[in-house]
Structure 1
Amino acid sequence: MERYSAPVIDMKESENLAEKIVKACEEWGCFRMVNHGVAIELMTQMKAITLSLTDLPMEVKQKNSHPEPGKGYTPPNSASPFFEGLSLYDMASPGAIDLFCSQINVSPHQREVLSKYAFALYYLGQFLGRKVMEGLGMDGDLFEDWPCQLKMNKYNYSPQSVGLTGAVLHTDPGFLTILQDDEMVNGLEAIHKITGELVPLDPIPGSLVVNVGDTAKAWSNGRFCNVKHRVQCYEATVRTSVALFVLGPRDGKVEAPPHLMDSDHPRRYVPFDFEEYRKLRASTKSPTGEALELFLA
C-alpha cells in the first residue's frame, strides 16, 4: 500500500520554487521546508527557552495575559489536558516583545533569542507570501502589515497519556502557520486531502512545517487546502513546538483577488473580517473550519 508523505521543499532551489509552494498549498495544505535560512543554533536556543518559560510557575505564566481569549497563555484544559502554550500576539508591532517579556520576567538573554527567532520566522513568512503571489501569477507583498502570533507550546505527556490526543483535530484560522516541531518527539499528523487518512508528518531535524489555514482557503477562492491536523502522544515524554501564525488582514477584508476568479471560477466566499471570523469559529465550536461555510457566496 502506498504511504503518503507531505512534500519537502528545499527553499534554496530557486527553480520553480513559487510553483512548488502553491502546488503544496493546493494538494496538501502543508509542507516541510529545508534550507529555509533560520539558523539551526537559533532554533535550538528557542527550543530551550520554550522549555524554560513553560516550566515557570503557573502564577507567572498566567501573567502572559491578553484581553481577548486565545491571545495570551493557554493553560491545560479539558479539551487538551496535556497541552499548554505561551503567546506573543501581534509580535512585530512596536512594544509587543517588550510587553511579553515584562509579563513573565524574561531574562535579557531569553529576550534576545526570542526577538531574533520571532523576526526570523516573521521575515520567512513575508517571503512565503511573496512566493504565493508569484506562484499564482501576481505581484505584491501579500502579508504586508498582517498581525502575526508567536506561540511556545509544551505537551506534558505521561505513561497514561500514550495513545491519546495532545492537540485535537483542527485547522488553523489564519492564512498559514510556520511550525518548529519537536525533532526528537513525533506526533504531528495531517489529514490527506484525497484519501481522508491521517498521515504522520515525521520530523526532519532543522526543518520547519508550513500549515495552510482557513483564511488561505477563502482568499485563494477555494484553491488552497486548509489542512486538518492534530498532535498524538506517541511516548511518555515532554514535547515542544514553536509556531508563528500569519493571521489575516489588519484592516481590510479576507477576499479572493480578481485574478483568481472568472466565469468558470466565480467567487466562493463573501469577504469577511478575520477577527470576526476567528470569534465565530469559537462561538460555533468549529475547530476544523466549518464556520467558513457561513460565508459561502
Structure 2
Amino acid sequence: MSAQTITTLDLPLKKFKSGKVREMYDLSNSYLMVATDRISAFDRILPNPIPYKGIVLNKISLFWFDMMKKTIPNHILISDFEKFPANLKKVHELKDRAVIVKKVQPIPVECVARGYLSGSGWKEYKETQSVCGIKLPKGLKESDKLPKPIFTPATKEEGGAHDINISFEKTCEIVGAETAEFLRKKTLEIYERAANYALKHGIIIADTKFEFGRDENNEIIVIDEMLTPDSSRFWPLDKYKAGGPQPSFDKQYVRDYLLSINWNKEPPIPVLPKEVVEGTSKKYIEAYEKLTGKKLI
C-alpha cells in the first residue's frame, strides 16, 4: 500500500456533498462515500494531507460498524471494493477508502458521549460545573474520568461554524422526546461498549460523537463514521494522568502544533511541518492497529 495521498477526486459522478474530509457522490439509489486524506482543525481544512488518514478512517469505521451491528444497524451497503459496480472498480484510488451507503434522512443533532472531562466539556465545566445542563461533582480536574459517561448533544452547524453544545431538553425540542431518548440510550450504549473494548487494547476513548439518520423504513441507524480518531479523543492508557491535556492518537497533535504557533484560526492557514504530518500519520495508523490487531501497511 503506497503513501499516495488523496485530497480531491475527479469522478464522472454527480457530487452530492463535500465535507471537510469526505466526498459524497449520488449513485441514484445510494451514495458513494470517500474518505480523503484531508485534515481539519478549528473548522479549517489544512493545506497538508495526512498519508493513510482516509484509509484509517474508512477501515476503523468498518471495524466498529461490524462490532456494533447488533446494537444498532448502520448505513453500509457495500464495503468490499471488489463488489463495487464495474465503473467504480476502474478507479483504483477508491480502494480501502470508499464505501457505498444507504440514502437516509439525517437527524439534525450531533450525538456526543463523554467519559472524561476534556475539550468543550472541560471549558463549560470550569464556567458552570456542568456540561450540557448535566451537573457534575465539584473539584474535577481536566481529563478526569467522569463518575459515569454522559450524553452531551450538540447542534449541527453548516458552513464551518462551530457546533454548539445543547441540553437534552433542547434535543427533545429539535427531534422529539422519543427520538431524543433513543439517541441518548444508543449513544451511551455504543460508547460504553467501545470504551471497555478499547481499554483492553491500551486506548482510552475519552469522548466520541455519532451521527444518526432514518432509513427507508424510518428506522434510526448510525451513519457517517464511527469511533475514528477524527470523531473521538483517543488517549494512550499507559500515559494517562488527569490534571491537564493528554497525549493522543487523534488530530489533537495537529491542534497542539497550531496552538503553539499562536495561529489566530483565520486565513492564511499555516502549512504543517513535515514532522507534524508524519507524526500525525503514525498516530492514526497506530490507533487502527492497536484497536483492530491488524497491520495497516
Q: Report the structure, 1 or 2, having the larger strand content.
A: 2
Task: Provide TM-score, normalisation by structure 1.
Answer: 0.25
Task: Provide TM-score, normalisation by structure 2.
Answer: 0.25
